[in-house]
Amino acid sequence: MSLSVVILAAGQGTRMRSALPKVLHPVGGKPMLGHVINTAFELDADKVIVVYGHAGERLKAEFSGEPVIWAEQAEQLGTGHAVKQAVEHCDTDQVLVLYADVPLVRASTCRTLLAALDQADVAVLSVELDHPTGYGRIQRDGDRLAAIVEHKDASVEQLAISEVNTGLMALNGQKLNAWLAQLNNNNAQGEYYLTDIVGLADTDGSTAVAVVCDDADEVAGANDRVQLAAAERVWQHRQAETLMRAGVTLLDPARVDVRGTLSVGQDIEVDVNCVFEGDVTLGDDVRIGANCVIKDSRIGKGAVIKPFSHIEGAYVGAKADIGPYARLREGTELAPQSKIGNFVETKKATIGVGSKVNHLSYVGDAEVGDNVNIGAGTITCNYDGANKHKTIIADGAFIGSGSNLVAPVQVGKNATVGAGTTLRKDAPEEQLTLTKGRQQSLDWLRPTKN
Ligand code: UD1
Ligand code: CA
């Protein structure tokens, strides 16, 4: 069976009150439209057509990597009119209509809907709602779907129906074109309703059915920021559940946010309020303390990330010990068993096996060997105001506290740099290097207050 997926994304989304097009508002760090495009490809769709109205260039730029077809709907004259803009591309056995502002629908639900086309020509995804106001009502006639009546066109009896149209619909691709051609806008809103296809199917001897979705969260739309926040929570709840089923302990599954892809090993423990962004991989037995933000990074087996650490674009080796309050920036590569302590910032730095930067330091554009100790308050002075320069520290070196290493500069193997040194030339291996003058004590009286 060949399949086209038509994604409706032409609505203006004024209720978002935003300069950003509605369908680009993110859920779990990904634009809503991106979620729906993903779902379409998960279904192995032969064609994915996005019907857009506003901000076309912006949308196309955002999804330039996706093999989707763009169809413009210059004026928003209704859902039927929207699908009509895409129909020339829908030369497939089946057509599935999805909404870009219903981002959480599962591929499995779509498959169930498409499977209903085995016995029918139109299959509408419905849901039972306690508060059906505003939705199209599902009017059944036994097993058959007789009609969908829009809220504004409904009678008092019809308004009492609590089964509503989610808007998601699977259609016989061979018949769709003829149905669309027959739509008119003689209704309360003066719109071309896609839902009128149900009535048209009935008159030409085709069958329509409604398939009930039992998870209302899955088919909820995000029209304003309140609904967007609700969708975010549903998405995060799903992510948390997936993580726990994969062997991750979440101390509170309601207090973790995954905005991207989090790949995990087993027996990982994540404390509350951690945020994972972009592509993050956590090895087996990793422990992450409360309030950490980790983005586009890999954390090796058994590493411990203590609370309030911020890690971005970094690789953390096995059994490394990070934080609390560490900041690892892009290009940080920490070998196994290394240690980065509180208020330490690293950037474009490789740190060798067992090396320690325990307190209050900046290590940037640096290569640090194995078993190096970098004392508290050490700064690699990597920037001369125009260019960045490199600091190289060989195995076994010891940098005394409060030192400034003015790059480009090298510290030799097993060298010792005295506390408070400002190193402007290389420090030779195996020796103690000091740059401050001899210590003096003078007779001097502290001024007293007048
Ligand atoms: C539609 C359904 C209604 C259903 C409801 C579920 C019709 C006539 N009605 O209502 O039965 O209960 O969805 O939310 O289909 N869109 C376009 N172009 C347009 C109009 C809409 O692309 O000209 C897109 C919107 O961006 C949105 C979706 O279609 O993603 C639904 O539009 P919306 O106005 O929210 O729904 P209704 O038409 O009110
Ligand atoms: Ca509407």
**3-class SS at 68?**
coil
What atom of ligand 1 comes closest to residue 102's alpha carbon?
A: 30
Q: Is residue 397 pLDDT above 90, yes or no?
A: yes
With contact defined as beta carbons under 8 Å apart, do 321 and 302 qualify? no
Q: Is residue 12 pLDDT above 90, yes or no?
A: no
Residue type, 239: Q
For residue 45, is it within any domain?
Answer: yes
* Among 48-62, 69-83, 344-358, 433-447, the least confident range: 433-447
Which of the following is catalytic: 89, 237, 359, 389?
359
Query: Is there a single domain that holds both residue 83 and residue 141?
Result: yes
Between the alpha carbon of residue 237 and those of residues 104, 232, 253, the distances in Å are 12, 8, 7
> Is beta strand 3-9 parallel, antiparallel or unpaired with respect to 47-52?
parallel
Rounded average pLDDT over 160-180:
98
For residue 118, is it within any domain?
Answer: yes
Query: Is there a single domain that holds both residue 203 and residue 337?
Result: no
pTM metric for this prediction:
0.94
What atom of ligand 1 comes closest to residue 221's alpha carbon?
A: 14
Instruction: Kindly report the backbone phi and psi dihedral angles of residue 241, in degrees, each rounded to the nearest multiple of 5, phi listed first.
Output: -65, -45
With contact defined as beta carbons under 8 Å apart, do 328 and 311 qualify? yes
Question: How far is 76 from 148, CA to CA, in rounded Å?
Answer: 20
Query: Is there a single domain that holds both residue 331 and residue 257?
Result: yes
Ligand 1: residues whose CB is within 6 Å? 8-11, 51, 73, 76-79, 81-82, 99-101, 135-136, 148, 150, 164-167, 193-195, 221
With contact defined as beta carbons under 8 Å apart, do 341 and 326 qualify? yes
Rounded average pLDDT over 273-291:
98
Query: Is there a single domain that holds both residue 265 and residue 172?
Result: no
- Three-class SS string for 328-381? ECCCEEECCCCEEEECCEEEEEEECCCCEEEECCEEEEEEECCCCEECCCCEEE
User: pLDDT by residue (tens digit) across 61-106?
Assistant: 999 999 999 999 999 999 999 999 999 999 999 999 999 999 999 9
For residue 186, is it within any domain?
Answer: yes
Which residue range forms the structural domain that includes residue 31? Answer: 3-219
Rounded average pLDDT over 188-195:
97
Question: Which residue, among 125, 191, 180, 179, has the nearest Cα to 153 in the 3D structure?
Answer: 191
In the reported structure, the alpha carbon of residue 207 is separated from the centroid of ligand 1 by a whole-number distance in angstroms of 22
Q: Is residue 54 pLDDT above 90, yes or no?
A: no
Rounded average pLDDT over 306-316:
98
The residue contributing the CA closest to ligand 1 atom 25 is 11
Alpha-helical (H) ranges within 71-171 are: 79-84, 107-115, 156-159
Q: Is residue 345 pLDDT above 90, yes or no?
A: yes
Tokens of 77: 């004259």
Query: Is there a single domain that holds both residue 190 and residue 278?
Result: no
pLDDT score at 437: 82
Q: Is residue 143 pLDDT above 90, yes or no?
A: no
Mutate to test the pocket of ligand 1, among 12, 79, 184 (most ligand atoms within 8 A of CB): 79
pLDDT score at 172: 98
Query: Is there a single domain that holds both residue 298 and residue 367?
Result: yes
Confidence of residue 278 (pLDDT cuts 50, 70, 90): very high
User: pLDDT by residue (tens digit) across 239-271?
Assistant: 999 999 999 999 999 999 999 999 999 999 999
Query: Is there a single domain that holds both residue 191 and residue 259?
Result: no
Query: Is there a single domain that holds both residue 342 and residue 195?
Result: no
Four-CA torsion 224, 229, 231, 236, nearest 10 degrees: 160
Rounded average pLDDT over 204-222:
96
Query: Is there a single domain that holds both residue 175 and residue 281?
Result: no
pLDDT score at 438: 86
Tokens of 321: 């010990």
Cis ω on the peptide bond leading into residue 324 (within 30° of 0)? yes
Which of the ligands is closest to the CA of residue 12?
Answer: 1
For residue 226, is it within any domain?
Answer: no
Confidence of residue 146 (pLDDT cuts 50, 70, 90): very high
What atom of ligand 1 comes closest to residue 196's alpha carbon?
A: 8
Domain count for the chain: 2
Instruction: Kindly report the backbone phi and psi dihedral angles of residue 181, in degrees, each rounded to the nearest multiple of 5, phi listed first.
Output: -65, -25
- For residue 307, give the CATH number of its domain: 2.160.10.10
Query: Is there a single domain that holds both residue 57 and residue 117?
Result: yes
Q: Is residue 357 pLDDT above 90, yes or no?
A: yes
pLDDT score at 394: 98
In the reported structure, the alpha carbon of residue 57 is separated from the centroid of ligand 1 by a whole-number distance in angstroms of 22
Q: Is residue 436 pLDDT above 90, yes or no?
A: no
pLDDT score at 125: 98
Question: How far is 314 from 405, CA to CA, in rounded Å?
Answer: 23
What atom of ligand 1 comes closest to residue 165's alpha carbon?
A: 12
Between the alpha carbon of residue 300 and those of residues 244, 265, 268, 292, 296, the distances in Å are 19, 10, 11, 16, 13
pLDDT score at 439: 87
- For residue 156, give the CATH number of its domain: 3.90.550.10
In the reported structure, the alpha carbon of residue 167 is separated from the centroid of ligand 1 by a whole-number distance in angstroms of 7
Which of the ligands is closest to the CA of residue 161?
Answer: 1
pLDDT score at 142: 86
Query: Is there a single domain that holds both residue 128 and residue 45?
Result: yes
The residue contributing the CA closest to ligand 1 atom 11 is 136
Rounded average pLDDT over 34-43:
98
For residue 240, is it within any domain?
Answer: no
The chain-wide mean pLDDT, for the chain, equals: 97
In the reported structure, the alpha carbon of residue 78 is separated from the centroid of ligand 1 by a whole-number distance in angstroms of 7
Look up 359 and say whether it is catalytic.
yes
For residue 441, is it within any domain?
Answer: no
Of all residues in the chain, the percent with pLDDT exceeding 70 is 100
For residue 77, is it within any domain?
Answer: yes
Confidence of residue 36 (pLDDT cuts 50, 70, 90): very high
Query: Is there a single domain that holds both residue 390 and residue 347?
Result: yes
